[in-house]
Structure 1
């Protein structure tokens, strides 16, 4: 076994034996998400088991993307798994970005506490749709920043900021005359006020998806990531790996949902025989097997591209569409196979269905990715004609 397989096996054992029993733990916030108390309790056990932040090695090196896939798929076998072992979004993507391009000062001050799992982070980019702010099109960003002495002053409003409530680290994107900028900030900060946290279809993330107001936030100049105007460049470094790691984690959850639905279909009988022997049920589970395999192949293909050093923007768009749509089909079939039980909280199947439905939107809706790919087809065609 190579190192990724060894780490993945330890993570799977931990998730199946320690984390899964926590799925029935009542410690949830008023939006239904796990409380930070629950998260930290699981992380203490993960630390003791040697599986906390398993994708980052003891010397600070990051596993390859292909190796990360092997590990993160196993962490996703429970919706609580990524929280417990510190592989969840947005922290996993934020750790990757800081590890790649952060200064020693930023790594010491911000990255260390993310890697050790003592705090959570939030990525402040998306803005309210009603204000025509940045969403799937980040060029629409309205949050501004300007230099005042040795500090940058940031003003704006952000929306759907995952984990903002209760986070200890923030990455804030804003627009200066030079272009987009990215800043690291300590949280909480009185200049960043949570306006509200809406109820959403998914509830696996502590802190929900908040709308926040940024009012004259002053950030030391040395807490800018890179130089003014380089924000989108750094966002691109984070984009494809973070997009792909979503696919990894939710593939793990759908593997588990398929296990639960298959067990149900083999145990439950109707009309004189087990459900699995009814063609309508058996074929759905067979289709799940096919989609699960195809999803894993797409993830590994994209991971291999990223491991060459490519940004993998096109490949990660293709993988995100293919995997999110496949996982939606899988989750839907699992609910259908289990009938009434499938829409209850007796198992994680209904939660997986809700979470994967949201994933079809997060990190770019399917339609935006298809539009981007269609533009590439047009560009390539034009190039061939010249």
Structure 2
């Protein structure tokens, strides 16, 4: 190793430092002959035993001190380098282009049963083009690893054999189809709309934060079956009631390579996708009153419910449910001035709206809390 710069210089390559890349340069120099005594002469093939001798020397040198016999003084900071070097992009292997197109369509029928009820059916397809990872943590696909290595484009901390520092540039396009049947009814009593649906998404796009960056992936198939409704009832002239909801059963039909906790890969096939509640309900009551021809007022309350659900796919056991009561009251004048007092989350329901792994802290979880109980008042003027 100490004599290597002189060997490289005698081959016409200059006094190169001892490193695997420079050893390859010497071994590939056609004008360099090395005999058993270490002498060189032009015009001959490389001495047969030299490669084996160099390989044995390299194997004895720790990776961290390949170019520094005194040890790498920055070795202690290795843990801080949690982001790999950027790979020049686009490059000879990755052109940085996706070209997606798809013809989508919708078919629907309607039938008016009478003046009150209308029934319908619908079949629709959908398409979402590739989603690009535009963050600092965009990484080449491992499928391109060998081609990138052969082209000499990989920085030294990318390891094709283990997949180290490879990831995703984008998620593939997703396609969807949905079948829906339902009816709509209206009368002096109010309105009521109902629908049953069956939706399937192929190549469902998933985006999740893994502690150092975002991973864009595709589930094989994600499907949802359910019912939904919304209604308004006029129990008496000044009192209006609304009631809406959705009951569904979402599932990853196939997601064998899902991003998991701590950067692992897990199989979520057959599991419920995070963040999609099985049951969600919303109801409200509004009472209005005219104090005079010039003054009117109202009192309103609403309730929001969402059943318990895991917040994100890569943090097991962290769930969220919602039980929130809101209320408001106000008065308005013909002059355009109105006053309102309100309370949001009156019952001070506490939950998390989202969560993600701590940046380079495997045992840390960060989460965003829901809005606490909040009171307020507002004044408006319409002109």
Common fold: TM-score over 0.5: no
TM-score, with normalisation over the residues of structure 1? 0.20
Q: Between Structure 1 and Structure 2, which shows a larger proportion of strand residues?
A: 2
Q: Between Structure 1 and Structure 2, which shows a larger proportion of helix residues?
A: 1
Larger radius of gyration between Structure 1 and Structure 2: 2
TM-score, with normalisation over the residues of structure 2? 0.21
